[in-house]
Structure 1
Amino acid sequence: MGRQSSRGRDIDGIILLDKPLGISSNALLQKVKRLFRVNRAGHTGALDPLATGMLPVCFGEATKFSQYLLNANKRYMVTALLGKRTDTSDAEGRTVSCRPVFIDQSRLEAALDHFRGKSIQLPSIFSALKHHGRPLYEYARKGITVAREARTIHVYDLHLHYWDHTKVELEIHCAKGTYIRTIIDDLGELLGCGAHVAALRRLAVASYSTERMVTLAALQNITAEAPEAPETLDRLDALLLPMDSAMADIPVVNLLSDIAARVRLGQPVAVTKQLKVGMVRLTEGDAGRFFGIGEISTPGRLKPIRLIATSRTK
């Protein structure tokens, strides 16, 4: 169990929440933070209230490495309705236009191919991208137009699961910064009929398995009878993934304790020149305790980048 303070517990790890429909990512974060009685927590990329699915939440020292999940690839299942375009590109928005749908599957497949691989996307004005420190959707709700910069996105895989003239179900595996709502809106314009997102579910983030997701209801059931009991908190903590699981694709460098101590002081150290240049996970000793991220900047030279507090590695 994590260390207890007057405010809450100091625990480190990652939990994969299965976000339900109709709640904001931050509201869900606050509920789970209270259930775990944890001091510090943060999510790794918001889902719209309309969206459901995987929302990794980092506790304690794991928040230092949340950027690796923000930057990770994502996989989504999206249901789109053709024939109606909305200002938010989803079912919660105001209708902008309604047009007849005159397409066949071959035309749909040809349009979908436009989005595979790399393409240019203009983010929605209703996105959470920041402009002068405020999300774009705040400007949009006040009727203020803000210039957005188009960006390159990468869709690794786009699979058509279902089509019945006006309803389309797609599975999309994409890189960070890809707006699924914008893909659907652009698809509708390409087909000449308009489209919007009716349902969106995030299936995966990075290499995390869907099976490891936990619902809010399941957490509430665990805490229902004795929320502060040690055995209750132990059951909750058993659901946490190691904090370095966010960086599973980064190579590991295990250091002797005396070398690790120098790295913790911020000092670069010599390592074998066989290690490739790039980011590495740092572990220590026979137990292989994770204690941070480093970088092989030049062959044979390792420097610390982001480290766990010394008190949390004991």
Structure 2
Amino acid sequence: MLKIIKKQNINGLLLLDKSIGVTSNKILQYVKIIFNAKKAGYIGTLDPLASGLLPICFGEYTKFSQYLVNKNKTYLVTALLGEKTNTADKYGSIIKKKNVNLTIEEILKKINLFKGESKQKPPMYSAIKYKGIPLYKYARAGINITNLKKKTIKIYQIKLLNFYQNKIKLQINCSKGTYIRSIIDDLGDQLNCGAHVIKLRRIAISHISILHKNVITLEQLKILIMNYKNHKLSILLIKKLLLPINYIICHIPKLYLSNLLIKKIINGKKIKLTSIIDKTKFQIFEKKILNFIGICQINNKGYIIKCKLMNSIKKFY
């Protein structure tokens, strides 16, 4: 009879360096199996073409992932000028070719046009759903959806790192939901020669960098499991890779409350803090043992509202 291993309740943040050629969801499923985790989710989808930082939240951390999802991202992208494809990347079919005769000054001038806020239409070859169906399925069927809503995006910084043999390398820091493929496709149109992505790597989400010491690839995770025959030992080793909740919500100010007030919050009681009147969010901690309780919002009358709490702490209060 096969022994069924019970899935674990794990809380933590894993910084994964995603490889190219695999979907973000497939990576997530592999990681869940390695950790034998009951619940997990990734932050910020990366296309199979893209590599780089893919944070994965385990357990209760998933309910706080939105505070990192909504932050700006930084990418390194290499594009080939002179060819426009139907997918805006190297996996598509070439729909236009043109000789490239551009100077760095001309490229810089057009790149600078992308800085700031603008409206962006999602590419047809994307996972965005229209009437419940991913856009790429329409695209593969030869159907072009023309009435897609444009989304407001913002390019905080766009830098030309290299220009050699019709290839340009850019570093782009942008808002959530920005399609780098669309930026490159639009840049190709601006340069009147066409362009498409041949390499894309996410190097940061907000303050978290791909250079963090805990960043690990899926292949390295698998090797850790193989090198340690003792399952419990390997799980303990892997858990050391998990980062605390602070890495997700460090930008939110902290508020330390008494045990009594914590109990009232957990029980849904109305609490007014006379010393705080700003409408803002706070990380809530129990001030004696420094337990992280959750995130609460405080309205302009000083009342604690809209609390998102850790379920695991409720049994202690």
Q: What interval of TM-score do these two structures reach, taking the shorter chain for normalisation?
A: over 0.9
Match of 1:222 in 2: 224
Distance 1:225 1:151 in 2: 47
Give the count of matched residue pairs: 310
**Code of the aligned partner of 1:78:** V
Contact residue 263 and residue 304 of structure 1 kept, 8 A: no
User: Hey, what's the Cα distance between the residues in 2 that align with 1:156 and 1:171?
Assistant: 11
Q: TM-score, normalised by structure 1?
A: 0.93
Compute the displacement of 1:298 (Å). Answer: 1.6
Secondary structure (helix, strand or coil) at the match of 1:249 reads coil
Contact 1:101 1:165 in 2 (8 A): no
Amino acid at match of 2:134: P
What is the TM-score with the length of structure 2 in the denominator? 0.92
Identity rate, percent: 38
Structure 1 residue runs of 5 or longer lacking an equivalent are none
Compared CA separation, residues 168 and 239, structure 1 to 2 (3 A): same
**SS state at 2:208 partner:** coil
List gaps (5 residues or longer) in structure 2: none
Alignment partner, residue 154 of structure 1: 154
Q: Which moved more, 1:74-83 or 1:265-274?
A: 265-274
Q: Structure 1 residue runs of 4+, over 4 Å off? A: 311-314
Q: Where does residue 58 of structure 1 map in the other structure?
A: 57
Alignment-derived partner of residue 206 in structure 1: 206
C-alpha distance in structure 1 between counterparts of 2:88 and 2:126, whole Å: 10
Question: d(CA) in 2 for partners of 1:25 and 1:127?
Answer: 13
Q: Distance in 1 between matches of 2:100 and 2:293?
A: 56
SS at match of 1:10: coil
CA distance in 2, matches of 1:274, 1:307: 20
Indicate whether 1:88 and 2:87 are aligned. yes
- Which one is further off, 35-44 or 184-193? 35-44
Which residue in 2 is equivalent to 1:298? 300
Say if 1:267 and 1:303, in contact at 8 Å, map to a contact too: no
Deviation at 1:313, TM superposition (A): 7.6
Which residue matches 1:273? 275
Q: Is the 8 A contact 1:81 1:168 kept in 2?
A: yes
Which amino acid in the other structure matches residue 291 of structure 2? R
Using the alignment, how far apart are the partners of 2:37 and 2:315 within structure 1? 18
* 2:278/2:299 contact within 8 Å kept: no
Q: Distance in 1 between matches of 2:314 and 2:111?
A: 48
Q: 1:49 is matched with which residue?
A: 48
| Equivalent-residue separation in structure 2 for 1:285 and 1:122 (angstroms) | 47
Cα distance, 1:275 vs structure 2: 5.5
Partner of 2:168: 168
- 1:9 alignment partner, SS class: coil
Letter paired with 1:153: I
- Superimposed CA distance per residue, residues 99-128 of structure 1 (whole angstroms, 9 cap, x where no aligned partner): 111211111001001111112222111122
> For the structure 1 residues 277 and 33, does the alpha-carbon distance in structure 2 shift closer, same or farther, using more than 3 Å as the test?
same
* Aligned-residue RMSD, C-alpha: 1.8
The change in CA–CA distance for 1:250 and 1:227 in structure 2 (over 3 A counts) is: farther
CA distance change for structure 1 residues 86 and 267 in 2, over 3 Å: closer, same or farther? farther
